Amino acid sequence: MFQFGNMNLQRDPVFLIKLGGNLRKFRLNKGLTQEMLADKAEIQRSQVTRIERGTTNPTINTLKVIAEVLEIDLKLLLEFD
């Protein structure tokens, strides 16, 4: 856990898992493999895997690039049921 002033900055595993589920759903809807998405987004396939599993906290820039490749609004990756 990181502390910044009076704020505790920590990873939210539930959020990251939901984000990963959304990414996987949109990737599959586009008919892309993890490898194909990674190539188009110019990131490592292992990074896509970690995001989908919810084991990494991707940067907003990475999410922006992924959303562009998937041809969706970035906010859709962050909206959960």
pLDDT at 4: 46
Domain total for the chain?
1
Please report which helix (H) or strand (E) contains residue 49, including its range. Answer: helix 45-53
Residue-wise pLDDT tens digits, 26-77: 999 999 999 999 999 999 999 999 999 999 999 999 999 999 999 999 999 9
The β-bridge partners of 29 are none
Residue-wise pLDDT tens digits, 6-17: 545 578 999 999
- Is position 4 within any domain? no
- Is position 37 within any domain? yes
Q: How far is CA 36 from the centre of its chain?
A: 15
Domain span at residue 19 reads 10-77
